[in-house]
Amino acid sequence: MHLVGTHLVCDALRTREACFVSHAGMPRVRRHRQTIATGLTLALLAARDEGAARGGLAVTYGRPFVLGAMRLELFPSGHCVGGAGLVATIGDARVVYAGTAGAGGVGASLLAKPGETRAGDALVIDCALAHPRFRFPAADDVQRELIDWIAATLGAGMTPILLCDPLARGLDLVKLLGARCLLRLARPLHDLARHAKANGVDLPSAHRLDGAPSATDVVVWPLAARDAKAITRVRRARFALVDALALDPVATGALRVDAAFPWSSRAGWDDLLAWVRASGARSVYALDSSGDELARALAPDGVTVRPLGPPRQLGLFPA
């Protein structure tokens, strides 16, 4: 998203003059001239690619600062460790870039700071889960069910393989299971956990998966690498999806999993409605979605929802 009339771009996929990066899980983060993010996000980006965080401006949550004619503030998104949203104010115009807002409720994330909302005239938010089917049960209940499933799988002499997003849910799984199980992590997740721990994230120790897992191991693996040879060759394996997509039967079928646990790191239907209403924004720009369902639900409130994609830019001022 580019704020027209400024140099500021949010979560850009091309090199930019100044770019706000909402979390370290963003794909293809470029070597921007200036990268604005939390200190933890910059540290995790640097661990992945030393150049990605070069020229980084580490910003603390809730401490406004000035960049050119803009007044900016970062706030916790609740999505993942180091995750943030951004408020940009120029004159009387106030835009809130929530990006990927975190799921609400007690225990939604074990490591991220609780997500916050901000008021604004316009709101930009990830609406990938903006559908009534994405109503999530309490995270604590899902965690208990997952632990019971792992115990039953191990008891049957099989290896549990948990598929998840490494940053947003993988680190939470390390936190939840590290003291209960013998965890084996995929290399990218192991490296991420090591760097997060070195930067103050409270995580137990876990080992990298090298070779075949033992009979007592629990494997945590990136969702995007479901078909990697390292796990497809594991004998007597049972796969579980730990993600918001656990509520999508098409996704669970395509991923060929034996169990699905809807422990979401992202705001679902109820969370998104609450976010929009708390912001007071009359204009909402939907990322990763047409926003049609949200538009119908919010129309009685006088809120307009529009998709925000590559052909569209968000202007601070009327033409």
Task: Show pLDDT as tens, one digit a residue, over the chain (319 residues).
Answer: 888 778 888 998 788 888 999 999 876 666 788 889 999 999 998 887 766 666 789 999 999 999 888 999 999 999 999 999 999 998 889 999 999 999 876 557 899 999 999 999 999 999 999 999 999 998 999 999 999 999 999 999 999 999 999 998 999 999 999 999 999 999 999 999 999 999 999 999 899 999 899 999 999 999 999 999 999 999 999 999 999 999 999 999 999 999 999 999 999 999 999 999 999 999 999 998 888 999 999 999 999 999 986 544 555 544 3
Same domain, 213 and 287: no
Same domain, 81 and 152: no
Residue 222: in which H helix or E strand, if any?
Answer: strand 217-222
Same domain, 205 and 288: no
Same domain, 10 and 105: yes
Report d(CA 153, CA 238) in Å as an integer.
Answer: 7
Q: Based on the structure, what is the number of domains in the chain?
A: 2
Same domain, 26 and 75: yes
CATH number at residue 222: 3.40.50
Non-local (6+) Cβ contacts of 80 within 8 A are 23, 24, 25, 102, 109, 111, 112, 167, 168, 171, 265
Same domain, 184 and 215: yes
Give residue 289's domain range: 3-134+266-315
CATH number at residue 117: 3.60.15.10
Same domain, 53 and 98: yes
Nearest to 101 by CA among 124, 73, 71: 124
Q: pTM, whole model, 2 decimals?
A: 0.90
Same domain, 219 and 294: no
Same domain, 275 and 237: no
